[in-house]
Amino acid sequence: MKKTKVKATPILSPKTAKSSYEDFMVLFFVAAFLLIDFLPYFKTYEIIAPQFFYLTILNILTGIYIYNNPVLHETSLLAIFKKSYVFKMYLAFIILCGISIITAKNLSLGVLSIAEILVGFTMFLNFAILLYNRMHLIYKVAFFVGVSAFFQAGIALYNFEIIARSKSVSDALNSNFLKGNTGNINILAASLVFKIPFIFIGVINYNKWKKWFLTAALLIATTIIFLISARASLLSLIIITSGFLVYYIKTGGLKQQIFLQTLYIVIPIFVSFTVVNIIFKQSKSEGRYASTTARLKQINAEDGSINARLHYYKNAIALTKKSPFLGIGLGNYRVESIPYELRTNSSISLHAHNDFLELTAETGVLNGVLYFSIFVALLFINVKRLIKTPDREIRSIALLTLLLLVVYGLDALFNFPFYRPTMQVCLSFIIAFTLINVVKEKVSAQLNKKQFLSLILLAIIPLYFTYHSYKTSNLEYLIQTDNINFASSGFLKGDDVVNRNPKFPNVFQTSESFVEFAGIYYFREKKYDKAINFLDSANKINPHTGRPDFYKFLIAKEIGEADSAYVYIKRAFYNRPVNDTFYEHAIGVAAGKKDMVEIFNMYDEISSHIKSAGIWQKTANSLQMAGLSVGNFNKFIAKGLKDFPKDSVVAKKINDMAITDLIEKGQNLFAAGKFDQALKTYQKALKIDPTNIYVMQNIGFYYYNLGKPNVALPYFKNALALPGLSDGKTQFFIGMCYISIGDKNNGCKYFKEAGGYPDAPTQLALNCK
């Protein structure tokens, strides 16, 4: 019996028209927009800046092409824009974003952010105009997206394999190569998941080599997604895969044919899932890379990452309450959220990890609700088309749009795709597909081409700002390369930073201002007046980090202005009361000034945010240096025991302090001739810590001074056998004990080991000729 060849069952109705010049240009521009994920950094600190600049240039070129091609100027499209409440909501959202800049303390960040929003808005308009009445190209668009995913994931997988072979699987998992060219691993995962629905469309509708190529792209892309184990992306992948398969099986034809087609999707995902979990098992990692299922189970309130996000959400809500009408200003979250992030000093998030909450905080409650409503409207429109529209093609594109909406929506709930260019491409597709996925007009008159000049002008507006953002990111790269926070000098000078005059943005990605770094360069160059001038300017741009005042403290120390130094270091600490470096310097200066009240105040402040045994220990040391009374010191010890009852650091510190006190008491008793009481005091200290070298050393001195070298020797030797004694004193007295009992050989041996300890050379000369 002759076998029947199984053909693909197309989701969209097949098109037989030959590709026109316009079709070719549409695909060309779509491919150009997809190239965003392959841009090099061009010596910038963050890929965001060159990506937005590239998109700006591409928007302008696309606008010029549209302007010069009358066939694209259809009046029916203009009617769609006029009738679409999604378009009106999107436009109103952008207008309210612009108005919020009025309240922005950092105008530079607000202006740059609105410029970046305009880049995304123009990109959406370009997609809508290019693809209107050309949705039959969706197959080819899907293939282009699949090619993009294949190479994007393939490069990441290649780099992963290189590191895994040269080092270890664990090193490869934790390497920066898994972030690709997107900025971080979560964005790479989201970027790949956004391409998966297009790959599904392509796999189902193509035959022969294109089908196999897209199947391979699906395999490689899902492998990277599983390797990264970003929970939002894993959830998205599960939802869109299940949704697509359910729709395809429900609306398909022959059951055997449907089953065979689904294998091209199910098998690659199953294989990638299995392979990745074998890799995780080989790496013997825990947490994120233990297994895919374990990673998904971490979505609970007990997980550290989830807890951190809940904290960020609370911060965003607090900022919203501070300015509910117009918000704190578009783009200003990264600066204004700093005073609220006091759980740790290790890092500052700079984002709320929820676009809806962050934009509400930045632009006001009304605009936040409006932004969320856009997604609700997109969901409603496409679900309605999927269920009620008889046209198969419209239903299928609605499905594709819904799958993309799931990807972007989930990422917006847990991350910050709004400020990431690669994800703005996804949003532009979603809105464009929603607007133009309607019944086609049979006859559509052409608009006057002059009306499309506004599209070019709209694309040009962000050019100045995105270009300067690119140049500024290059400066940030150079400054970070210099590592001027720790290096005494770098490739740049203070004048270089000032002459570049970065305006958009005027702060690093980490929120520190550029003039702050000009001040640091001048500080390293000993140009203190200039340094202070720029550090003062930095405090006006971002007053929340405390770093400008910290460097003013270092300057004041260097030029001998102790009182000013104290003022600056206290100001730095209270600006950022979780910075342990500021705290350590501040309590050190306070101890030198015997300012115990301030030490207690600073300890109360830092403890209200971070409970740490290490901080308690540093504070105890500073209070000892300041000469705190025994009674008050005992109260502080009791507080440490109460706050950290099981902490070994606190217990050791308390024991060390008790031993130090007993050693001092024993020395005083010995000096007063109360030898028996002195010995009992030393023995009491030895019971607290039998391995304490200083107690053993002092008992050795006790017996040596009483003329009992034989008894003193074991104590000296036990102390010397433990680490911590390096000044030669113990070796010298061991030598003296041996000389006292007539053992010159051992005496000379230990005198030599005493090295440069005072009197050791004299004893060598006297006894060791």
For residue 642, give both structure tokens.
Answer: 């109460």
Reading the block at residue 288, the tokens are 């994120």
Please say whether the beta carbons of 673 and 696 come within 8 A: no
The DSSP bridge partners found for residue 446 are 74
To which residue do tokens 């809105």 refer? 431
- pLDDT at position 204 over 80: yes
User: Using CA atoms, how far apart are residues 416 and 349, in angstroms rounded to an integer?
Assistant: 11
Find the angle CA(105)-CA(107)-CA(110) to the nearest 5 degrees.
105
CATH 1.25.40.10 corresponds to the domain 655-767: yes
Mean pLDDT estimate for the chain: 88
Contacts of 130 (CB under 8 A, 6+ apart): 25, 26, 29, 30, 62, 66, 72
Alpha carbons 479 and 45: distance in angstroms, whole number: 9
Quickly count: other Cβ atoms within 10 Å of residue 613's Cβ.
18
pLDDT at 764: 87
Is-cis flag, bond preceding 324, omega within 30? no
What integer pLDDT is reported at residue 635 of this predicted model? Answer: 84
Q: Which CATH number fits domain 467-576: 1.10.1750.10, 1.25.40.10, 1.20.1060.10, 3.10.20.340?
A: 1.25.40.10
Residues in a beta bridge with 74: 446
**CA angle centred on 125, ends 368 and 461, rounded to 5°:** 80
Of 465, 417, 508, 506, residue with least CA distance to 44: 508
- pLDDT at position 644: 83
Averaging pLDDT over each range in 5-9, 329-333, 699-703, which range is the top one?
A: 329-333
Single out the residue of 671, 701, 696, 673 nearest to residue 685, CA to CA: 696
- Please answer whether residues 356 and 412 qualify as being in contact, where contact means their C-beta atoms are separated by less than 8 angstroms: yes
CA distances 682 to 287, 327, 731, 737, Å, are 48, 66, 21, 20
pLDDT band at 249 (very low <50, low <70, confident <90, very high): confident
The fraction of the chain above a pLDDT of 90, given in percent, is 58
Greatest CA span in the chain, whole angstroms? Answer: 120
What integer is the mean pLDDT of 717-730? Answer: 87
The residue with tokens 């002059």 is 450
- Token match 């009197």: residue? 759
- Whether 467-576 shares its CATH topology with 655-767 is answered yes
Q: 518 Cβ partners below 8 Å, 6+ apart?
A: 494, 497, 498, 534
* pLDDT per residue as tens digits for the range 103-161: 999 999 999 999 999 999 999 999 999 999 888 899 999 999 999 999 999 998 998 88
Q: Residue 507 forms beta bridges with which residues?
A: 513
In order, the DSSP letters of 230-265 are -HHHHHHHHHHHHHHHHHHHHH-S-HHHHHHHHHHH
Q: Whole-model pTM?
A: 0.84
Query: Rounded mean pLDDT of 417-422?
Result: 93
**Which among 521, 496, 516 is positioned nearest to 506, based on CA atoms?**
516
The runs of H, that is alpha helices, within 345-389 are: 355-363, 365-388
Where are the strands (E) in 417-565, listed by range? none
Domain definitions of the chain by residue range: 141-299, 467-576, 655-767
d(CA 161, CA 630): 62
| Chain CA centroid to CA 136, Å | 41
Encode pLDDT of 523-565 as tens digits: 999 999 999 999 999 999 999 999 999 999 999 999 999 999 9
pLDDT tens-digit readout, 592-609:
999 999 999 999 999 999
Q: At what angle do helices 185-205 and 392-414 cross, to 10 degrees?
A: 170
Secondary structure string (H, E, C) spanning 539-550: HHHCCCCCHHHH
pLDDT of residue 173: 79
Nearest to 494 by CA among 467, 552, 533, 542: 533
